[in-house]
Amino acid sequence: MGKKYVIIADDDEDDRMLVQSAFHENRTDVQIDFAVDGYDLMERLTREPAASSTHFILLDLNMPKKDGREALKEIKQNPGLKKIPVIVFTTAKNESEIRKCYDLGANTYIVKPDGFEELRKIVMNLTSYWLDTAVIPS
């Protein structure tokens, strides 16, 4: 089986580095691509391999130019892209934000943790569920 393809959309370099570390700690069969804002993400999704083989998107909400909410909305309204699981991964934890994201079609909502150990566990759970367990149309 080939490499799994995951996009991480986050404008924060630190967070990208931490998530990447957490992925590396867990498994080596994942290819990670980074998007630094909503435009970057949407543009990436129109090209290969992202267009056809993205296993999931880890999406930060607060990004410059086009934020995570707008990108989420566009993805879930696009017939070709809406099957891609979108995991909102953000610091905001207020009720209305969470509700809004699910309304827009988010598949999961996760609040960024305080420690690296928790982050590692989150990435482990995410990959084991979305890469190994869940079935999505190809």
Partner 1 sequence: MKVSGIYAIAFGLSLLVLFVFSWLLNDSIATMRDKSDWEEHSQFVIAQLYELNVAMADIESSHRGFLLTGDSTLLQLLYSSRTRVPMLLDTLSSLTRDNVRQQRNLSVLRDATVRRLHKSQEVINRAPYLTPEQLRKELNEGNRLMDDFRSRIKTVVELEKSLLKERTNSRRIYESLTPTYFMTIFTVASIIAIASFIQLLRESTERRKAREMLELRLQTLAQLNSELKQIAYVTSHDLQEPLRKIQTFSDLLNIKYGVSIPIEARDVLTRVIRNANFIRELISDLSDFANLVNPIEVKQKHVDLNKVLIDVQKNLNGEIEKKQAKFFISTLPLIDGFERQLFVLFREVITNSLKFSRAAVPPEITVTGNLMIGDELGHIRTGNRRFTVISIYDNGIGFDNVLASKIFILFQKLHGSDSPYPGKGIGLAICQRILSNHDGYITARGESGKGTRIQMFFPIVT
3-class DSSP state for residue 35?
strand
Q: For partner 1, give the closer residue by CB, 92 or 124.
A: 92
Task: Please report whether residue 85 would count as binding partner 1 according to CB under 8 A.
Answer: no
How would you classify the pairing of strands 54-59 and 30-35?
A: unpaired
In the numeric block, which tokens belong to residue 120? Answer: 């590692």
Closest approach of Cβ 116 to partner 1, in Å?
4
Residue 119 in contact with partner 1, rule: CB under 8 A: yes
| Peptide linkage before 49 cis (omega within 30 of 0) | yes
User: Which residues lie closer than 8 Å to 121 by C-beta, 6 or more apart?
Assistant: none
Q: Is 92 in the site for partner 1 (CB under 8 A)?
A: yes
At its nearest, how many Å lie between partner 1 and the CB of residue 33? 22
Question: Taking the complex as a whole, how short is the minimal distance between the CB of residue 103 and partner 1, in angstroms?
Answer: 18
**Is 27 in contact with 120 (CB distance < 8 Å)?**
no
Does residue 132 touch partner 1 according to CB under 8 A? no
Nearer to partner 1, 91 or 125 (CB): 91
31, 6 Cβ separation under 8 angstroms: yes
Pick from 60, 63, 65, 40: nearest CA to 50: 40
Q: By rule CB under 8 A, what string of x and - marks binding of each residue 11-30 to partner 1?
A: -x-xx--x--x---------
Under the rule (CB under 8 A), what is the footprint of partner 1?
Answer: 12, 14-15, 18, 21, 91-92, 96, 112-117, 119-120
